[in-house]
Amino acid sequence: MRLADPMGGLRRIIRAVLALAVVTLLGTVGYLLLGFSPLEAMYQTVTTVATVGFREVKPLTPAGMVFTMVLIVVGVGTVLYNLGVILEAVTEGHLRQFLERRRMDHRIAAMRGHVIIGGHGRVGRSAREYLVANGYDVVVVDRDPHRVQGLEGDVAHIVGDVTDDAVLREAGIAHARALVAALETDADTVYLTLSARAMRPDLVIIARARTTDSKDKLVLAGATRAVNPQRIGGRRMAVFALQPDVAEFLDVVMHDEDVDFRLEQVPVLPGSALAGRTVGELEVRQRTGALLLALRRQVDQPLELNPPAETPVPPGAVLIALGTQSELDALTALGRS
């Protein structure tokens, strides 16, 4: 079942109201030409179109009678059309959908630092569930209304083609922190990546690659990371088979909400208490209780696992740390202040 088009219902209501206004205007002008005053002409037109049965304001000439009969036929038809359109809009929910869409648009326009999910299939749905569970704002975009039908009111969503620049702007790409591109084909995902990168050169773009060969193409198109879920899933299954305790530890730390320990990346902002020092001088463990696992000095450099004490920590670096939420919050505060 296809969802009703709220804009189509609104357009029909506007057309109906305009038609009624035109009939009222023409009736008023006609009675003016028949010698009525402006108020009398308006009154006569309204009572005639509404068929309330009041007497004429003044006696009608034969021409006035003919004009009144024509006005009754046209006016009654217009009024009945208005009633039908309004009844249809109420019963089919066009007005409700339009108002909900307006509220959703205002909600998306006010978002800052949200994540756009392009494509709400299995991968997009899984990404949305994880982000929402961790308290992040998301905007789901999918051209299939059935895929977002269950998100009514809970998660911001748009029914449209996410490869369209106008839809990306409507999704708030100007203020988004990241885009998850998980469309049905690699060709669509590449096109979305190109469009998003052109609109936001600094945007984090995570693209789903359906084949191993397409990963390199997506990176060339501008994706920050290209992920092949099937390959990752196969590797995780192999790890569970060979090192089940290690795999379970990573799952618990990353996904189990009942466990307080977390893995988190902490940016080191310029001028903060962490910028310009060495790893040994940071004293992460002593000052926050968190455990420093890795360091990335610059975006284009690889991760340095278990960095030695003399490793410099320049502004813009990213720390990977393990700890409780309070410990990680303390470390994040040092990286910002």
CATH number for the domain spanning 223: value is 3.40.50.720
Q: What pLDDT does residue 245 have?
A: 87
Q: Average pLDDT for residues 36-56, to the nearest whole number?
A: 82
Cα separation, 182 vs 208, in Å, equals 5
More confident residue, 258 or 50: 50
Q: What pLDDT does residue 95 have?
A: 62
- Sorted by sequence, the CB contacts under 8 Å of residue 117 that are 6+ apart come out as 124, 127, 128, 131, 138, 139, 140, 141, 179, 180, 182
Half-sphere exposure of 176 (CA within 13 A, CB side): 27
The first and second tokens of residue 304, run together, are 């340095």
Q: What pLDDT does residue 153 have?
A: 58
Q: What pLDDT does residue 3 have?
A: 42
157 plus 182 within the same structural domain: yes
84 plus 120 within the same structural domain: no
The answer to the question of residue 38 being in a domain is yes
The first and second tokens of residue 249, run together, are 């530890």
Range of 90-94, 260-264, 279-283 with top mean pLDDT: 279-283
The answer to the question of residue 295 being in a domain is yes
CATH at residue 302: 3.30.70.1450
196 plus 121 within the same structural domain: yes
116 plus 222 within the same structural domain: yes
Cα separation, 258 vs 220, in Å, equals 39
Helix and strand counts by DSSP (H, E) for the chain = 14, 12
Q: Average pLDDT for residues 324-332, to the nearest whole number?
A: 90
Supply angle C-alpha 283, 288, 292, rounded to 5.
60
The answer to the question of residue 248 being in a domain is no
79 plus 145 within the same structural domain: no
Judged by phi (left if over 0) then psi (alpha if -120 to 50, else beta), residue 230 lies in alpha
Q: Is the pLDDT of residue 259 over 70?
A: no
305's enclosing H/E stretch is: strand 304-305
Supply angle C-alpha 93, 98, 99, rounded to 5.
100
Burial (CB count <10 Å: 0-12, 13-18, 19+), residue 307: buried
Q: Is the pLDDT of residue 255 over 90?
A: no
The first and second tokens of residue 155, run together, are 């998660």
151 plus 219 within the same structural domain: yes
Q: Is the pLDDT of residue 169 over 60?
A: yes
246's enclosing H/E stretch is: helix 244-255
Q: Average pLDDT for residues 19-25, to the nearest whole number?
A: 86
Cα separation, 97 vs 78, in Å, equals 25
79 plus 131 within the same structural domain: no
Cα separation, 73 vs 48, in Å, equals 10
Domain count, the chain: 3
* Of the listed ranges 149-163, 276-290, 298-312, the one predicted with least confidence: 149-163
The answer to the question of residue 255 being in a domain is no
Q: Average pLDDT for residues 53-78, to the nearest whole number?
A: 82
89 plus 117 within the same structural domain: no
Q: Which of 266, 269, 254, 316 is nearest to 291 (CA)?
A: 266
87 plus 149 within the same structural domain: no
163 plus 205 within the same structural domain: yes
Burial (CB count <10 Å: 0-12, 13-18, 19+), residue 83: exposed
The answer to the question of residue 234 being in a domain is no
Average pLDDT, the chain: 85
The answer to the question of residue 332 being in a domain is yes
Burial (CB count <10 Å: 0-12, 13-18, 19+), residue 321: buried
Q: What pLDDT does residue 119 have?
A: 93
Give the three-class secondary structure for 43.
helix
The answer to the question of residue 89 being in a domain is yes
Q: What pLDDT does residue 1 have?
A: 32
Per DSSP (E only), the strands in 64-151 are 115-118, 138-142
Q: Is the pLDDT of residue 118 over 60?
A: yes
More confident residue, 309 or 15: 309
Q: Average pLDDT for residues 79-103, to the nearest whole number?
A: 70
The answer to the question of residue 245 being in a domain is no
Percent of the chain with pLDDT over 90: 42
Q: Which of 177, 203, 227 is the last residue of a domain?
A: 227
Q: What pLDDT does residue 152 have?
A: 57
Q: Is the pLDDT of residue 81 over 60?
A: yes
3's enclosing H/E stretch is: none
Domain assignment of residue 147, given as a range: 112-227
* Of the listed ranges 14-18, 286-290, 292-296, the one predicted with least confidence: 14-18
In DSSP terms, which residues pair with 304 in a beta bridge?
A: 295
pLDDT level of residue 4 (50, 70, 90 thresholds): very low
117 plus 16 within the same structural domain: no
Q: Which of 206, 211, 202, 203 is nearest to 223 (CA)?
A: 206
Model confidence over 123-163: pLDDT tens digits?
A: 999 999 989 888 899 999 999 988 887 775 578 999 899 99
16 plus 46 within the same structural domain: yes
